Amino acid sequence: MPFYKAIRNTPEKVNSYLIIALIFFIPFSTAIGSILSAIILLLWLIHGRFKDQYKSLKSNKVAIISLMIVVMHIIGLLWTSDKDWGLHMLIKQWKFLMIPVFMLYVKKEHMMYYFYAFILAMSLSELISYGIWFELIDPFKLATAYNPTPFVSHIVYNPFLAIAIYLIASELLFHKHRFNYKQWLALFFLCTMTINMFITGGRSGHVMIFLVVIILLLQYYGMKKIIKSLSISIVVVCGLFYLAYNFSTIFYERVNLTAHNILHYEQNKNSSVGKRITFALNGVDVFSENILIGVGTGDLPSAMKEKHQLNTPKVAAPNNPHNMYVMWLVQFGLVGFLMLMLLFYVQIKAAFLHNNQAMKRFGIALPLLFILANIGASYLSIHATSLLFAVFSAIIYSDEAYKSVNT
């Protein structure tokens, strides 16, 4: 049956290219990202050979914990009253389910292309962003001339920029050869992306870029020179902050507004920052009454609404507390929080096993950046950011990544 064999062998040949396409389209379209993921999943089902695939994944702790997170959401339905919302939240976890699937089709010969695809996508995005900012392109979707984030909201756009900046800066910082046109082009986009970061309004991305500086310098000088690394980091971060604060209108206004909202929280709990503080405080209050296993997969909205009516009736209760840790503490108690931290711990530990130094560095940086970002928003619940996290996790911690040479 030659035709049947050809169909069965198609996923191995095609899915890695589909992963490259998926990474490229994530910053542009959630719909295309979902469609490409569905095609990869369908080809995996056609591929079969599940026994062999299980053998290749059973020792991969990142894959196992990703599946455990999905199982946790399924089990959490047992003590959930709102089954409809619970199923909605369960369906949103499909990106964790895809991590092992993506891992099966990562190819070591395609490693550079996975990351080039994302850098290319963000380079095109920031060029369009500048076009909107300079009023050469009419604003579309959520973008405005004041806050020119094309295709996605600033909540997503700026963290994407921070990750792209890390990848480009890492390549330049650890590049051991003479500069050629590729390095000069990379340096150009590193500068333009950094400026673009501060003419757009995503606070999480603003904080992440400062962490990017610290991570890169610690990785460059090593832990043996931690004092030197941190000293230079402080100088660079302060210098970057000073320039952004004095030359970027939106950054200046966002910093001042954030500081004002924090200082006057009691007087205005309905500000953007005020709501986040209120959500966190009320969420921790709900957690304190359901410490071990939380309220279940689907009861976060009702539990938060009840607590808001009791503590802060003038602030509308959220379906999403804009904090990943608070979300899982409310839903799954200590079990959920520890599961999330275990995922990050296992990722960082797995990164240290890499002989490929570039993979090792990014394998450490990715979870650290998401650990920070998840304080300001539930980034592992947001479609675009959770999908990028899933596909990059699959690439970095796949068996094929450990076979790849330094590039």
Amino acid at 200: T
Report pLDDT for 142. Answer: 86
The token duo for 248 is 């970027």
**222 and 234 Cβ atoms separated by less than 8 Å:** no
Report pLDDT for 8. Answer: 56
**393 and 62 Cβ atoms separated by less than 8 Å:** yes
Rounded Cα distance, 24 and 18, in Å: 10
Rounded Cα distance, 316 and 324, in Å: 19
Give the total residue count for the chain: 407
Rounded Cα distance, 68 and 72, in Å: 6
Grouping H, G, I as helix, E, B as strand and the rest as coil, residue 166 is: helix
- What are the 10-residue block averages of pLDDT along the chain, 407 residues in total? 51 88 97 96 86 86 96 96 95 95 94 96 97 94 91 95 97 82 91 96 94 96 90 96 95 94 90 91 95 96 94 88 95 97 97 92 97 95 96 94 71
Rounded Cα distance, 244 and 198, in Å: 6
Could you report the per-residue pLDDT of 199-225, keeping only the tens digit for each? 998 899 999 999 999 999 999 998 888
Instruction: Look up the pTM and report it.
Output: 0.94
What are the sequence ranges of the domains in the chain? 2-403
DSSP element (H, E) containing 212? helix 203-221
Contacts of 190 (CB under 8 A, 6+ apart): 165, 168, 169, 172
Rounded Cα distance, 232 and 361, in Å: 19
Rounded Cα distance, 283 and 303, in Å: 9
